Amino acid sequence: MTAPARTRTSDELIRAEEPVLAHNYHPLPVVVARAEGAWVEDVEGRRYLDMLAGYSALNFGHRHPALIEAAHHQLDRLTLTSRAFHSDRLAEFAERLTALTGQDMVLPMNTGAEAVESGIKVARKWAYEVKGVPADRATIVVAADNFHGRTTTIVGFSTDETARSGFGPFAPGFRIVPYNDLAALEAALDETTAAVLIEPVQGEAGVIVPDDGYLTGVRELTRRAGCLFLADEIQSGLGRTGRTLAVDHEDVVPDVVLLGKALGGGIVPVSAVVGRREVLGVLRPGEHGSTFGGNPLSAAVGTAVVGLLETGEFQRRAAELGAVLREGLAELAGRGVVGFRSRGLWAGVDVDPAIGTGREIGERLMREGVLVKDTHGSTIRLAPPLTITEGELRSALASLEKVLAA
């Protein structure tokens, strides 16, 4: 009989990663071993309230029973076919996701960046075949301070030097305009424009909520210019802001919506391009694909996620608890918080730099049993699971108050 592997401590595991893992992340020094709902537990059994929720990939909390059940059920029947064959799970996933989002068709993928890449390909093809843009001239207009993922094409139109520098040469065909500036957007649109690609709320930039009317304006300008509106709802969508999609706050229907993160229920990577038939209909067999996209396990979990959102409960919770979050942060204004933005259960909080960097605040909160992530400088982002209770949310705010006062 082999001896059981010696259990390593958190410190030992962190040190063990150092020589064998690429250093493309700088995680907080917590080693999570178990999780349930809004709580995670480290190797030593210390518990932490998860106020990041996997950058919104865990909107329904860790291991939501309905999602775990759907995954278990599917694991026992069929996990992968590739799209060389049909599976008995994909039709329902697409039917219910299109109904939830008010769109016609779904292109299933896996990660967020893949959904963005797929949206770009579809928009270009649409521009050549439907709009009549001359070959290889299509442009896509994006916003400054965007975050759409990490592929070479996507980082090529980032304005964040850390994301871009050292990874060129980049794909041409993108124009960058300031976010939340309709006049600049209008000036950038011309007969070569295939699409405008924006986040309805800019997450990584620090939860930047545009002015009321901006999304309506983008819809109106793209309609007038005869180009597509692609909304990247990978972080903002699926309940986070208090509505199913962030564009719903202005009753705007984009031509294409990009989804990811929470669509996989925190279990498997699931992303999707959902859009109008006239747009997604330009793809023909062989022109685009993914071995894992739309696999039966992903489709089963994705369908269960759609099932949770169909109840409206999570959108309602995000709206109601979002009001608690907003009030709590307003009370901290001038007491360590120098500014904040929020929509639903999602906030970017600018901490007085004299108190600490976002990273330092994150480390201090970790010692208080609360996990958050910094974005830039002294900004931290709060995005707890939508299953968090009001009491848990208030205790996280109390921990923030304590850390800011220390």
Ligand X SMILES: Cc1ncc(COP(=O)(O)O)c(C=O)c1O
Binding flags for ligand X, 121-160, as an x/- string (CB under 6 A): --------------------------xxx-----------
| Sequence letter at residue 249 | H
| Min CB(351)–ligand X separation in Å | 21
Q: Which is nearest to 367 in space by CA: 26, 54, 59, 42?
A: 42
| Min CB(148)–ligand X separation in Å | 5
| Min CB(241)–ligand X separation in Å | 13
**Residues forming beta bridges with residue 382, ordered by sequence position:** 347
Binding flags for ligand X, 166-195, as an x/- string (CB under 6 A): ------------------------------
Nearer Cβ to ligand X (148/364): 148
Catalytic entry in 42, 50, 93, 147: 147
Catalytic entry in 42, 50, 145, 232: 232
Phi, psi at 265, each rounded to 5°: 60, 15
Stretch that binds ligand X, among 109-117, 136-144, 301-309, 328-336 (CB under 6 A): 109-117
Q: Where are the alpha helices (DSSP H) in 137-273?
A: 152-156, 161-164, 182-188, 214-225
| Min CB(237)–ligand X separation in Å | 9
Q: Which of 111, 193, 315, 342 forms a contact with ligand X (CB under 6 A)?
A: 111
Is 125 catalytic? The answer is no
Phi, psi at 181, each rounded to 5°: -135, 95
Q: Using CA atoms, how far apart are residues 7 and 263, in angstroms rounded to an integer?
A: 33
For the chain, the straight-line distance linking the first and the last C-alpha, in angstroms and rounded, comes to 53
Nearer Cβ to ligand X (112/210): 112
Query: Using the rule CB under 6 A, is 113 a contact of ligand X?
Result: yes
Q: Which of 42, 50, 204, 255 forms a contact with ligand X (CB under 6 A)?
A: 204
> Are the beta carbons of 306 and 93 closer than 8 angstroms?
yes
Calculate the CA 327 to chain-centre distance: 24
Nearer Cβ to ligand X (239/356): 239
Q: Which long-range contacts (CB under 8 A, 24 or more apart) does 40-49 make?
A: 40/371, 42/10, 43/7, 43/8, 43/9, 43/10, 43/13, 44/9, 44/10, 46/369, 47/369, 48/366, 48/369, 48/370, 48/371, 49/369, 49/370, 49/371, 49/384, 49/388, 49/392, 49/395, 49/396
Nearer Cβ to ligand X (242/260): 260
| Min CB(128)–ligand X separation in Å | 25
Catalytic entry in 60, 229, 248, 261: 261
Residue of minimal CB distance from ligand X?
112
Q: Which of 112, 200, 239, 322 forms a contact with ligand X (CB under 6 A)?
A: 112
**Residues forming beta bridges with residue 106, ordered by sequence position:** 274
Q: Using CA atoms, how far apart are residues 28 and 173, in angstroms rounded to an integer?
A: 37
Q: Which of 35, 90, 105, 116 forms a contact with ligand X (CB under 6 A)?
A: 116
| Min CB(369)–ligand X separation in Å | 25
Q: Find the binding residues for ligand X in span 248-307 (CB under 6 A).
A: 260
Nearer Cβ to ligand X (133/141): 141
| H/E run at residue 258 | strand 256-259
> Are the beta carbons of 321 and 59 closer than 8 angstroms?
no
Is 261 catalytic? The answer is yes
Angle between helical axes of 296-310 and 65-75 (0-180°, round to 10): 150
> Are the beta carbons of 227 and 194 closer than 8 angstroms?
yes
Q: Find the binding residues for ligand X in span 32-61 (CB under 6 A).
A: 55
| Min CB(108)–ligand X separation in Å | 14
Is 229 catalytic? The answer is no
> Are the beta carbons of 333 and 342 closer than 8 angstroms?
no
Residues with catalytic roles: 147, 232, 261
- Residues at the interface with ligand X (CB under 6 A): 55, 111-113, 116, 147-149, 199, 203-204, 232, 234-235, 260
